[in-house]
Amino acid sequence: MTNFAGLELAQPILRAIADEGYTTPTPIQDKAIPPLLAGRDLLGVAQTGTGKTAAFALPILHDLGRDAGKPVRNRPRALILAPTRELAGQINDSFRGYGRHLDLRSTVIFGGVSAHSQIKALARGIHVLVATPGRLLDLMNQGHVRLDAVEIFVLDEADRMLDMGFVRDVKKIVAALPTKRQTLLFSATMPKSVQALAAGLLDDPVRVEVAPAATTAEKVEQSVLFVPKDKKRALLGDLLQDEDIERVLIFTRTKHGANRVAKHLHQCGIEADAIHGNKTQNARQRALKGFRAGRVRALVATDIAARGIDVDGVTHVINFDLPNEPESYVHRIGRTARAGAGGIAISFCDHEERAYLRDIEKTIRQSVPVVDDHAYHRPEIANDPGTVKKDPRAKKRPSRRRRNSRRSGNTGQAPRKAA
């Protein structure tokens, strides 16, 4: 496939795609759109940045646009479920952008803000509803949303949905959907829990898989800097003196760590903001808006808060803290390699993280090049093989035989003589 016209989408949608400046579909769009237009269920294995939102938004708009009709109060015809507020907002923006020449109405609902305006939007009638699970269930219980008219259901980022503990909410929502519907499930990874969920939701699905983890990682220019934990902030400040680092996403392991890094960058004269679960929704949206507009040069985020952030033009990703899950590393660095483009990822590694780096290199099937020409390089960290070290203070667990002996009162030793 060479262009979107070959996908047989409706002319108003092709006009909107042209308005956005796109001419050629990404691999997942090329593979997913034809079977979706044919009404098939779909299992999509794809990461953020592959163009998967358009892969389901375009055929949904095409399908609904053929017989739009008047939107019905509180009864959407398409439901897209997303794990985070940020992702839900971005999906809704995509529907509005691609559907600008269609007589369709969409809205987004999520927690953390007043539900008043969301309830009003639902009451006016909508064709497409984008939602996070918690707020959707709340409004369903209050009678503001009915799902009996849903024709197309999309579960996006299913792996993260389960990681965040939404499995029960998802099952309650699915139980309220019509049995006869088209269902799409997208996930960046496919652990057994997601496979089981997909098996219960999908009917004879087409499986579409793009951008395996190693392929994505290979598109990014990666490096690692070995540095003591207490020197990481100083190193970060030094790195960001480089003006080539125009728009950088910085990952920390904790919310408090994100705040400390953002504060340190401010003290260095660098426009920075933090985004994490303890921030209000308005503060998160303000930070994201500033980052997109270029007013904020450095956005510091935790993994969950950053999931679903889709910002073009991120020149660098810096792993201030290495993740303890190799898959998270691949997700992180892929944010600077959008839709096949390249990017630069820099990782800090201290003594405690050496084992994480070893696991990451096994997952991406390549060694991450070491940069040692900085003021805080420590050869002793670089030379550490990355084995997990046992805490010498930990007491050795007694054998099963000794534990059983203790329970029975038999220590296996001769009784002491009475004094």
Q: Is residue 415 part of a domain?
A: no
Instruction: Summarize pLDDT for 155-175 with one digit per residue, the tens.
Output: 999 988 988 889 999 999 999
pLDDT at position 399 is 40
In percent, how much of the chain has pLDDT > 70? Answer: 87
The answer to whether residues 90 and 233 belong to one domain is no
The answer to whether residues 194 and 313 belong to one domain is no
Q: Is residue 185 part of a domain?
A: yes
Instruction: Summarize pLDDT for 283-342 with one digit per residue, the tens.
Output: 888 898 899 899 999 999 987 767 656 677 889 999 999 988 787 888 888 888 665 566
Q: Is residue 403 part of a domain?
A: no
Q: Is residue 360 part of a domain?
A: yes
The answer to whether residues 276 and 183 belong to one domain is no
Q: Looking at the whole model, is its pTM more than 0.85?
A: no
Instruction: Summarize pLDDT for 62-84 with one digit per residue, the tens.
Output: 999 998 889 999 999 999 999 98
The answer to whether residues 248 and 315 belong to one domain is yes
Q: Is residue 229 part of a domain?
A: yes
pLDDT at position 419 is 32
The answer to whether residues 80 and 204 belong to one domain is yes
State the Cα–Cα distance between residues 275 and 280, nearest whole angstrom. Answer: 9
Q: Is residue 404 part of a domain?
A: no
Residue 380 has pLDDT above 50, yes or no: yes
Q: Where a domain ends, among 211, 246, 274?
A: 211
Residue 194 has pLDDT above 50, yes or no: yes
Rounded to a whole number of angstroms, the CA Rg of the chain reads 25
The answer to whether residues 50 and 29 belong to one domain is yes
Q: Is residue 419 part of a domain?
A: no
195: closest CA among 185, 209, 210, 183?
185
State the Cα–Cα distance between residues 327 and 141, nearest whole angstrom. Answer: 36
Provide the CATH number for the domain around residue 199: 3.40.50.300
Percentages of the chain per state (helix, strand, coil), in multiples of 5: 45, 15, 40
Q: Which domain holds residue 249?
A: 214-382
The answer to whether residues 150 and 294 belong to one domain is no
Q: Where a domain ends, among 189, 211, 233?
A: 211
In the block, tokens 């070491």 appear at 370
pLDDT at position 160 is 85
Q: Where a domain ends, among 181, 211, 241?
A: 211
The answer to whether residues 221 and 203 belong to one domain is no
Residue with the bigger pLDDT between 378 and 396: it is 378
The answer to whether residues 251 and 187 belong to one domain is no
Q: How many helices (H) and strands (E) does the chain have?
A: 18, 13
The answer to whether residues 20 and 167 belong to one domain is yes
Count of structural domains within the chain: 2
Going by their DSSP bridges, the two strands 343-349 and 316-319 should be labelled as: parallel
Q: Is residue 33 part of a domain?
A: yes
The answer to whether residues 182 and 248 belong to one domain is no
pLDDT at position 112 is 83
The answer to whether residues 88 and 28 belong to one domain is yes
